[in-house]
Structure 1
Amino acid sequence: MISNLISWSLRNRFIVIVGVIALSIWGFYSMQQTPIDAIPDLSENQVIVYTEWMGRSPQIMEDQVTFPLVTNLQGLPKVKDVRAASMFGMSFIYVIFEDNVDIYWARTRVMERLNSAQRSLPEGVTPTLGPDGTGVGHIFWYTLDAPGYDLGELRALQDWYVKFALQNVQGVSEVASYGGFQKQYQISIDPNRINYYQLSLMDVLNTVKNNNNDVGGRIFEMNGTGYIVRGLGYIQSIADIENMTIATKNSIPIRVKDIGTVQMGGEARLGITEENGTGEVVGGIVVMRYGENADAVIKNVKEKMKEVEKGLPKGVKFKIAYDRSELIESSINSLKNTMTEEIILVCIIIIIFLFHFSSSLVVMLNIPIAILLGFIAIKNFGITSNIMSLSGIAIAIGVIVDDGIVMVENAYRHLTEEGDDNHA
């Protein structure tokens, strides 16, 4: 079969040359389209289900949240394993799918099963899916450099402006905020006062919840004109909460300020985020979507940050804490230089030892053609251009050269023998 293939190639040289050129062009296109990253993604094909029920112990989370969800998710198709972890107020479930399963098909199946599992959960508990990222999806970290600004103001700026803007970048799955204080209205209730008025904590909670809402009414017609009636009830200030009426005793309204105090504060924190010993900072983590080009996503995020920075308050600017593109570019450039040096060195050695330009050219052409054909396989198998894959290509250059030299020497020997026979 090999002899027939060689004979056919010799008889149809033009077709072979055109085919090699076409494959080389395809390989070059695949090389340009292959996602670039510094490290290979070895994480499992998983979907994370996150459930929050604050104030509950790990045992309650396990019995009332984690166990019902795990039993419902175990029957999904193409699932290898379901793992779970329960902690104080939170539940995490990791649904591990087979490697050949499309991640978005898997997320759809999990979401369908969560809709039916919702009935077995306590009231007000809603499970949510984690971001469609991977274990190496944290590609970019930044902080807000703003001397003199309050940490609560910076966290509000990050959550309500910067985060939403960067999430619109193509390839970004999530922008996770960290550091600072999350602003909230806090009601400190005096137990003696609430007992005196014979009220409960649920009375206060329901009052605040029901009064923080806009409601709609009907259309009021007057002089041939229709007016839309609606009630504006969203909280605008601390005074709005203080003046909410909880109950009425002897025609006297009992307001929130009568049983406690209201203040603006920050959510309780379990830790802080500090940068290089200079104090607390506020920032965000850009999580890349599954299967995206890390280098291209980081470049798009940096371009978007330039636009976002124009709308930041005076004195606030971005400061990069971690940028994987630096590692990507340095790794790729190092490997490119190494491969270039290898190719040049191999070509010089081939010319010196064979001392036959045509034969050396055949061997040297095998190197770039084989590399381009390798990128076709890399692109179609969904492998990124990273340190491991490019190092494999660099190591394989020696094998490519060995094969070419063996074939050239064998052909040269046969041609020499045939020439000696004809001469004789």
Structure 2
Amino acid sequence: MSEGFTRETPAWTRAHAEGLHRDDSNVAPIIYPPDERLDEDLHIWDTWLLRNRDGSIAEIDGRRVIFALTSPSDLLPGKRHDVATIRYFYSTDGENWTTGGRIFDDGTLGQRQWAGSAMYDPDGDDGEVYFYYTAAGEDGADELTYTQRIALATGGTVHTDDSELRIDGPWDHRVILTPDGDWYEREDQSRGMIYTFRDPWFYEDPQSGETYLLFEANTPVPEGTGACDDPVWEEFNGSIGIAHSPTGDPTEFELRPPLLDAVCVNQELERPHLVVRDGTYYLFISSHVHTFAPGLEGYDALYGFVADDLRGDYEPLNGHGLVLTNPENAPFQSYSWLVYDHGDELLVTSFFNYFDYNRPSLDDVSLLPPEEQMRRFGGTLAPTVRIGVDGTETDIVGTLDHGHLPLRREALPESWWDGAARDGDDGGY
């Protein structure tokens, strides 16, 4: 058995996942298209906030910044991942966003860039940005490839004036992590439907002060090891990886054993990230209905786990892991959820995916006429969902409008705090 696969790693087990079910505590309301998309010229999907080193949302001269994967809006939505570029947007109120442009002009690694995270250091020269991203595809390859490496761009700085915010280079790009083949599967070891080594997320542990990167990966499970009761399940081997910076330098990391694995359960644990509240660690990922192993019924959804410390024995929230999902009659209306702390509750942002569509698989989107594929793709920020959390239990308590991302200290109308959205206020839906 591979040294990378061990039951010493906390696990999302089949016994946990067999309990997955939709109910009033985890199903979001139907999403309707907004009057205006964030940017009519762009498809916008996976999104993340510019954060300070301690994980709080950065605010620079009264502005906050988000980043997102983007493509031209005249492209068929299913083709967008092949040409993904990262753009930034900024806002003074967390509701109305201005397109700032592409974060990188040149020098990027990979054939295209996928999701990551960004850390703002106000003590650096002019306010330095450390930008972690997924370098997808082999540099210079003629054909589209799916090799994934974790890359870092440094040298970018933030500039503001009365009318705009800019993030300028020049950037220096380099690969900082590749899979080792022991704790984390290499592409040539993969037997599953999807290979993953991506989605770097910068994290400074508030208890220890140590510096880390989380990322999505797969645990090596060599054929014939008997890791699962059914050998077919061994191909479903998603994990949440972690790397540590021994010196605290945000440019140098060493791989460490996974925080959690889902061997025999799920192939893809996307965009892992943490929220720490009162010494309790909440670990969140997104995953798909089609990446669960045979015999399990999951959903396109936000899943979460809880432990008493960073390297603790993570257990699934709500007993099974499901925190937030789409309605049965709109199973793909949103995806790529990101959670952040907002005082008494958690706020969850995502992107508006396929609506007016209830077929059992996203593969069937390609069967629709091109004009219908375009019409049914949201391609902008989804409504923000408010989540209440009590120990190991979570509950949807309301919603905000499309792309409304308030800071923790910002006051919301009193109606939001008394459950008005759940009791009839549509909250932007």
| Structure with the greater alpha carbon radius of gyration | 1
TM-score in same-fold range (> 0.5): no
Structure number with greater CO (CA < 8 Å, separation at least 6) is 1
- Is the strand fraction higher in 1 or 2? 2
TM score, norm. by length of structure 1: 0.22
TM score, norm. by length of structure 2: 0.22
